[in-house]
Structure 1
Amino acid sequence: MPRKPKLSTIMIVEDDPAVLKRLSQTVTESRHLMLRAACSTFSSAVKILELDPPDVLLVDLDLPDGNGMNLIRKIREEALDTQPLVISVFGDEGHVLEAIANGAFGYLHKDDDSFKIEDAIVMLVDGGSPITPSLARHVLRRFQPQSDAYEMLEKLTRRERDILTKVAKGYTSKEIAEMEELSYHTIATHVKNVYRKLSVNSKAEAIFEARRMNLI
């Protein structure tokens, strides 16, 4: 008798009760997926990740007691065998790039109807990266050829690389200043220099570029 295929386990983290219910129902009714957990807070999600990590984390970014981005970062830093998939109302370049830079494998806008949630999760499990088409432009734009990008990377000083690494880990400029025993103004100047050398305008873009080029 053929063995039944293993169902992919899913954890949903969403603070809107109606959306959480709808997503949970979609996963529960799927022949390919199994709902491991559904919760509405950051703290609950952390406990579940530590006890029994799912195959896929379907996560909103705006949570009442934390940020979904930190859950994605936790998965990457602890090398958990869980694939994060963002579903959010935020569709700006900053959020998309920051999520991907922190380890998200896909990003869906809540108003997007081009993907069915089940299909997007299955695509992710099969090795794909489901991204709302209008948001994919943000990612592709960062891969446009930049003739002097790598020359700029070589110009980063050791301290600038160290600060960039700390920024990528989520530390604020004030916290970095205390760690480095430097003034806030000095750290801010270093950060501006990093942005200039990487040809970016935000923290999310800087992290994305640095990881893309294996700088951090």
Structure 2
Amino acid sequence: MTESLRKGSAIREPLRIFIAAENQAECDRIAQRLTRALDMKIAGSATSAAELEAAMRCDAKLDVLITDVMLGADDMAPVLTRIKHLRDDLDILIYTAFSQDPFVIRAILAGATGYILKGDQEDLVTSVRLLKGGGSPVSPTVARSVLRAIHSRTFAPQPPQPQKHETPENLLLSQRETEILTLLAKGISFSEIADILSISHHTVTAHIKKIYRKLQVHSRGEAVYEASCMGLLSDRIGS
């Protein structure tokens, strides 16, 4: 009788979860909340983009990645894109304090299937279970960001595209600035950009400051998002 019950009941392995947060104390807090659930197991943690990417290249089986959208100074959107290429079946849950539209949209485009804000009412354990059940846990503020993006691109009347001579000069990116912005969008570091384009690190920094000023942004993520919306990104790097 006991043997038949064992055969008839499916034994489900706990969900293997990897955590990426700004410091180890935050990783531990998240882990403590999750390990109260018997159906979840912490498979590892990281506090930097480099650590996270290295862990994702290992063969260990993972079900869910919980990560912030920023780890230190690193914008995680390009990193998440690369991780999804490595692990297409991995569910990514963003757990962050960043609710601004550019962060939300870039994370979702990079492959995140859930986005909840720290301090909101959403329970982390419930969100992970919803994610693995095929749902997409999203905080109300985040849902509004997504709707704004959809409305602005789909329903808002599109103004006529100005001719090149009508475009304000301060919004035009030079060929070099476009090349640098394209490399930024791929998640390449400032020093690597300098090597690729055979220019100094200081020259790269100067170009990036000009890009930020022209696009009226203050970070890599915002610059790439704005440039994408304006159709300014180049598909190739010139010589």
Matched, 1:122 2:133: no
- Cα 1:62/1:166, change in 2 over 3 Å: closer
TM-score after normalising by structure 2: 0.63
| 1:104 maps to amino acid | A
| 2:14 maps to amino acid | L
Matched, 1:170 2:187: yes
Q: Could you say which residue in structure 2 is the equivalent of 1:56?
A: 64
**Matches of 1:22 and 1:8 in 2, distance apart?**
18
Gaps of 5+ in 2: 1-6, 162-174, 198-203, 205-209, 216-221, 232-239
Alignment of 1:54-93 (within 5 A): 54-64=62-72, 66-93=74-101
**Matches of 1:172 and 1:15 in 2, distance apart?**
19
- Cα 1:207/1:108, change in 2 over 3 Å: farther
- Cα 1:142/1:23, change in 2 over 3 Å: same
Q: Secondary structure at the match of 1:142?
A: helix
**Matches of 1:78 and 1:13 in 2, distance apart?**
17
Deviation at 1:72, TM superposition (A): 1.0
Deviation at 1:57, TM superposition (A): 0.7
Deviation at 1:59, TM superposition (A): 0.6
**Matches of 1:209 and 1:73 in 2, distance apart?**
21
TM-score after normalising by structure 1: 0.69
Are the equivalent residues in 2 in contact too, given 1:58–1:84 (CA < 8 A)? yes
**Matches of 2:190 and 2:79 in 1, distance apart?**
21
Matched, 1:46 2:67: no
| 1:60 maps to amino acid | D
Residues 86-95 or 72-81, more deviating: 72-81
Deviation at 1:146, TM superposition (A): 3.6
- Cα 1:64/1:53, change in 2 over 3 Å: farther
RMSD: 4.1
**Matches of 1:64 and 1:81 in 2, distance apart?**
27
Match of 1:30 among 22, 37, 60: 37
**Matches of 1:172 and 1:148 in 2, distance apart?**
35
| 1:75 maps to amino acid | I
Q: Could you say which residue in structure 2 is the equivalent of 1:10?
A: 17
Q: Could you say which residue in structure 2 is the equivalent of 1:214?
A: none
Q: Could you say which residue in structure 2 is the equivalent of 1:204?
A: 225
Aligned length: 197
**Matches of 1:147 and 1:70 in 2, distance apart?**
30
Deviation at 1:89, TM superposition (A): 1.7
| 2:127 maps to amino acid | A
- Cα 1:85/1:206, change in 2 over 3 Å: farther
Deviation at 1:106, TM superposition (A): 1.4
Match of 2:119 among 108, 111, 118: 111
Deviation at 1:66, TM superposition (A): 3.9
Q: Could you say which residue in structure 1 is the equivalent of 2:171?
A: none
**Matches of 2:149 and 2:228 in 1, distance apart?**
12
> Bigger radius of gyration, 1 or 2?
2
Q: Deviations over 1:106-144 (max 9, x none)?
A: 11211212x100111111111211111112111111111
Are the equivalent residues in 1 in contact too, given 2:33–2:125 (CA < 8 A)? yes
Q: Secondary structure at the match of 2:83?
A: helix
Q: Deviations over 1:30-55 (max 9, x none)?
A: 13322111232333222221112521
